[in-house]
Amino acid sequence: MKKQLMFLILNKTGVLSKLLYNLDESGIKGATVINSVGMAGVLATLEENMSFSPFKMMYSDEGNDNKTILMVIDEQQIPIVKKVVVELVGDLSKPNTAFMFAVPTTYVEGTTCVE
């Protein structure tokens, strides 16, 4: 069975707990959640680079963080993840929601969850 490494960069972090619960209930049993910040958020905090000062107005100190969720899943589980994410986050083409992509894996060993 082909595996994919699914990346989900979640800007709408208020839904994280519900998202992980719904993924688990849908058969996605393992994920790693990493605190992260996007490029615009970092640039907004740079005092010395005034060319990015417009970013400061777009981002508050609390609004810079997002969560990066990594999942090694079977290729046929991608539609399940997409469905769960869109149900909770909404239209991903809207700003400040999420960004998602998958890449094929060539090697997987070990388990991603406690049974």
Q: Has residue 71 been placed in a domain?
A: yes
* Residue-number span of the structural domain to which 23 is assigned: 3-35+66-104
Euclidean distance between the first and the last CA atom of the chain, given in angstroms as a whole number: 20
pLDDT score at 89? 96
Among 4, 1, 14, 8, smallest CA distance to 83 is for 8
pLDDT in tens, 15-46: 999 999 999 999 999 999 999 988 877 777 77
pLDDT higher than 90, residue 103: yes
The reply to whether 41 falls in a domain is: no
Mean pLDDT over all residues of the chain? 85
Element (H, E) at 85: helix 78-89
Is residue 49 domain-resident?
no
Q: What is the DSSP string of 28-42?
A: ----EEEEEE-HHHH
Q: How many domains is the chain built from?
A: 1
Crossing angle of helices 16-25 and 78-89, in 10° steps, is 150
Residue 57 forms part of a structural domain: no
Give tens-digit pLDDT for 65-92: 899 999 999 999 999 999 999 999 999 9
Residue 84 falls within a domain, yes or no?
A: yes
